Amino acid sequence: MTTPPPNTEAGLSSSLTTDIPLTTDIPSTRTAAMDPDEIAEPSQARAPAPSRSEVSAATRPAALTKPGLAVHLRGLRAFYGEAEQVKGVDLEFRANEVTAIIGPSGCGKSTMVRCINRMHEEIPGAHAEGQVLLDDFDVYDPSVDVVAVRRAIGMVFQKPNPFPTMSVFDNVAAGLRLTSHGRGSRSKAAQQPKVEAALRGAGLWEEVKDRLHEPGSGLSGGQQQRLCIARSLAVDPEVILMDEPCSALDPIATLKIEELIDQLKTRVTIVIVTHNMQQAARVADRTAFMLDGRLVEVGPTDEIFTTPNDPRTEEYVTGKFG
Amino acid sequence: MSSVSSERLNRYALTPARKRRDRIARGGVLAGTILALIPLLLIVYYLLSKGLSSWSWSFFTTDPTGNTFFKNSTIGGIESAILGTIEIVALASVLAIPIGIGVAVWLVEYGRSGWFANTVRFFVDVLTGVPSIIFGLFIYIALIIGTGSSYAGYKGSLALALLMLPVVIRSAEVILLLVPGALRESALALGAPRWRVIGSIVLPTALPGMVTGVLLAIARAAGETAPLLFTAGATFKTSTNLGGFMNSLPVQIYNDVTSPTTAVVDRAWGAALTLVAMILILNLIARLVARRSRLA
């Protein structure tokens, strides 16, 4: 991606930090539940920070910074009917870090990640137990609207899945349109800056700016996946879950997504499920190893790959099984 | 190629017996296809040879008259039948299509494989197999005998709507099931409420395929005689009042073909050709739309 002129960048960062309504259902519900001392902190943290984005603009053109939120899993268990697939996981995903989940097929890593934004319960007969805390807010609390959870915690799937009836522009705008309450943000003109910001955030703007109104399904596989990332960025989530986002892509497209992940962590917390251990080593700050529905070990990525504590982790990362 | 390798490769060669069996089987299915085509071609041939001669401008623009027993009398055309069929089928479509698609959306998106959804599916299947005259009888008993009133175009529409309903439900359900689950998932994961996912993602994706199913249901209803015989009645005059008697192509064919007057029987052939042409056009539209479908 080419470096945009400085003034464009400034306009963009301000649009991302101020124009997009950050107060979705979640923070407001959380505010009600929190004591007054803590309320001030997130609102300060969310105030536009021009000096910070100017610094990052100099080093990393597309990066915009925003303090993210951490996610904690407490005794998370997930079931398909009677079968228990995730058997009690306690795990922290730190704010503004990339955490990779590795483990052999069927170990429950995808299921676990789908529990974080409550997509797991969309499968007939499936349910989850335990707590998933976004900051200090339990997404499984009975008073919580599942739709609000998914606005705050976005998801990118294994196979790129742009909406086939929509143009590139509409695919990104769909994130805004499908979730907007009012009619104010429905017009294309009102959506334009947000769509552009999301596409720039996904490193796709330069490639698609002249074909915004062509079908999204006409893009290449890697571009489609970045379009899906842009689509989830448009809602301005706190966390993005990625379930093997590169497994359907070629190495060059994979590299672009990995670079993108590195840039995105300045504004969101990222959880990535991957089968590819080199990928985990390249993109993740921390890596968690799962086996048979349980967390075996979590730690800084280089430690997991060089000096793991558990012999099973060592066997897996050195390729002895899985 | 050396003899060693050709000997070695010989074991992959097909035996003459197997080649013969293949020829016989291929000949058999070809013969079956031709056999099935013969009646179709004969129908088209008879329709064209007997019906085309009665086609004229006035055939389409005049109503039939009752003067059929006198030589050289003007028997009139089929205008009221064409317009009646269009009106009755249009009302039936307006009734059956939204309800049918609604049922299909509920079955696929909400009912899934629960006991109630499966019960609904069972009855829809039963309804698909019900002979069309039963729908006519049902409306006749409920709305004509039951209320002591007379035939009316809208009663014919109701009978046709009942006939169309299971066809619309089943075809829409099949198409909705073809919409990839990943699309629903990604929309839900964006934080869209389910009704928005259905309205903005699932239905637009399924639309071309559903149009095909709906047009085929319309085509089937347009050709039905039995549900109209004792619901919409038969009349000569062009009518735009769906509350009164209304003529239709199938009923006019049914009445004309039993007439002793040759000219009237010829009119039946002309009307039959018109009906087939109308349904053919509808089917062609359905195919054109289906070709644009991203799912099929």
B45 located within any domain: no
Say which of A154, A161, A177 has its CB closest to residue B182.
Answer: A161
Q: Distance of alpha carbon A35 from its chain centroid, rounded?
A: 28
Look at residue B67 and tell me if it is in a domain. Answer: no
Same domain (yes/no): A47, A103 = no
Angstrom distance (rounded) from CA B80 to CA B246: 8
Q: How confident is the model at residue B233 (pLDDT cuts 50, 70, 90)?
A: confident
B130 in a structural domain? yes
* Per-residue pLDDT, A46: 40
Instruction: Name the residue range of residue A38's domain.
Output: 6-59
Same domain, residue pair A54 and A150: no
Q: What is the mean pLDDT of residues B25-33?
A: 97
Q: Which of A15, A36, A59 is the last residue of a domain?
A: A59
In-domain check, residue B74 = no
Could you say which DSSP state residue A185 is in? G
Helix residue ranges per DSSP H, chain A:
6-14, 25-33, 36-46, 50-59, 109-116, 146-152, 168-177, 188-201, 205-208, 221-234, 251-264, 277-283, 301-306, 311-317
ipTM of the complex: 0.74
Decide if A135 is inside a domain.
no
Q: What is the pLDDT of residue A4?
A: 44
Instruction: Please indicate whether, in this complex, the C-beta atoms of B182 and A157 are within 8 angstroms of each other.
Output: yes
The verdict on residue B111 lying in a domain is yes
Residue B227 placed within a domain: yes
Nearest residue of chain B to residue A241 (CA atoms): B189
**Chain A residue closest in CA terms to B205:** A165
Shared domain for A38 and A178, answered yes or no, is no
pLDDT at position A44, please? 41
User: pLDDT at residue A23 above 60?
Assistant: no
Q: Of the candidates A157, A164, A179, which has its C-beta nearest B191's C-beta? A: A179
Using the structure block, give the residue that is written with the tokens 């319309």: B218
CA distance B219 to chain A (A): 27
Q: Which two tokens stand for residue A21?
A: 């309504």
Q: How far is CA A317 from CA A278, A285, A306, A312, A313, in A?
A: 10, 16, 9, 9, 6
Facing residue for B205 by CB, picked from A148, A165, A232: A165
Of A76, A84, A71, A69, the residue nearest A131 (C-alpha): A76
More confident residue, B74 or B148: B148
Cβ neighbours of A228 in B, within 8 Å: 186
| Exposure b/e, A170-189, CB count within 10 A at least 16 = b | bbbbbbbbbbbeeeebeeee
Please report the pLDDT score of residue A56 as a whole number: 38
Report yes or no: A151 at the B interface, CB cutoff 8 Å: yes
Q: Structural domain tally of chain A? A: 2
- Helix, strand or coil for residue A241? strand
CATH number of the domain at A169, please.
3.40.50.300
The mean pLDDT value for A173-195 works out to 75
Q: Is A165 close to B183, i.e. CB distance below 8 A?
A: no
* Exposed/middle/buried for residue A199 (C-beta within 10 Å: 0-12, 13-18, 19+): buried
- B185–A178 C-beta distance less than 8 A: no
Q: Which of A189-193, A211-215, A216-220, A226-230 has the lowest mean pLDDT?
A: A189-193
| pLDDT at residue A1 is higher than 70 | no
The pLDDT, as a whole number, for residue B68 is 62
Q: Residue A165's closest CA among A114, A227, A215, A232?
A: A215
Q: Using CA atoms of A202, A208, A210, A211 in order, give the dihedral in degrees to the nearest 10.
A: -130
Instruction: Note whether A155 and A241 are within 8 A (CB).
Output: yes
pLDDT digits (tens, 9 = 90+) for B270-280: 999 999 999 99
Which of B180, B185, B193 lies nearest to residue A119, judging by beta carbons?
B185
Contact assessment for residue A99 and residue A285, using Cβ atoms and an 8 Å cutoff:
yes
Residue B146 lies in a domain: yes
Q: If you measure CA to CA, which chain A residue comes closest to B294? A: A164
A86: amino acid identity, one letter:
V
How far is Cα A264 from Cα A68, in angstroms, rounded to an integer?
A: 10
Does residue A220 lie in a domain region?
yes
Chain B residue closest to A124 (CA)?
A: B112
Pair A51, A99 in one domain? no
Q: Does A163 touch chain B (CB under 8 A)?
A: yes
Q: What is the DSSP string of A89-100?
A: EEEEE-TT-EEE
User: CA nearest B166: which of B210, B121, B135, B128?
Assistant: B128
Residue B12 has which token pair? 């992959």
Per-residue pLDDT reduced to its tens digit, A103-154:
999 999 999 999 999 999 999 899 999 999 998 889 999 999 898 899 999 9
Note whether A164 contacts B205, CB cutoff 8 Å.
Answer: yes
Residue B148's H or E segment, with its range, is: none
For the beta carbon of residue B185, count every other beta carbon within 10 angstroms: 18
For residue B265, pLDDT beyond 50:
yes
Q: What percent of chain A is modeled with pLDDT above 90?
A: 58
Q: Using the 8-state DSSP alphabet, how is residue B55 labeled?
A: -
Partners of residue B188 in chain A, C-beta under 8 Å: 119, 122, 150
The whole-number pLDDT of residue A15 equals 37
- The CA distance from B153 to B156, in Å, is 5
Residues of A in contact with B200 (CB under 8 A): 174, 177-178
The answer to the question of residue B54 being in a domain is no
Average pLDDT for chain B: 89
Neighbouring CB atoms inside 10 A of B135's CB total 24
Q: Distance from B131 to chain A by nearest Cα, in Å? A: 37
Nearest to A178 among B182, B183, B190 (CB): B190
| A128 within domain boundaries | no
Interface residue A160 vs chain B (CB under 8 A): no
Q: Per the domain annotation, does A88 fall within a domain? A: no
Which CATH number covers residue B203? Answer: 1.10.3720.10
Q: Is residue A125 part of a domain?
A: no
Q: Which of A42-51, A242-251, B158-167 has the lowest mean pLDDT?
A: A42-51
Same domain, A247 and A101: yes
Range with lowest mean pLDDT among A100-104, B6-10, B67-71, B201-205: B67-71
Chain A environment of B185 (Cβ under 8 Å): 119, 122, 157, 161
Q: Which of A50, A30, A51 is nearest to A42 (CA)?
A: A30
Q: B174 is in which domain, residue-wise?
A: 79-292
Domain annotation covers residue A148: yes
Domain count of the fold of chain B = 1
Inter-chain residue contact B185 with A163, CB threshold 8 Å: no
Distance CA A187, CA A189 (A): 5
**pLDDT tens-digit profile of A30-61?**
333 344 443 334 434 444 434 433 333 333 33
Q: Could you tell me if A258 and A279 are in contact, meaning their C-beta atoms sit under 8 angstroms apart?
A: yes
Question: What pLDDT sits at residue B263?
Answer: 84
Please report the pLDDT score of residue A191 as a whole number. Answer: 85
Q: In angstroms, rounded to a whole number, what is the distance separating the alpha carbons of residues A245 and A159? A: 7
What is the spatial distance between Cα A142 and Cα A156, in angstroms, rounded to a whole number?
Answer: 26
For residue A170, tell me if it sits in a domain.
Answer: yes
Lowest mean pLDDT among A34-48, B107-121, B164-178: A34-48
User: Contacts from A280-285 at CB under 8 Å and sequence distance 24+?
Assistant: A280/A100, A280/A102, A280/A305, A281/A305, A282/A258, A283/A98, A283/A100, A283/A258, A284/A98, A284/A99, A284/A100, A285/A94, A285/A97, A285/A98, A285/A99
Average pLDDT, chain A: 81
Residue A102 · residue A109 · CB < 8 Å: yes
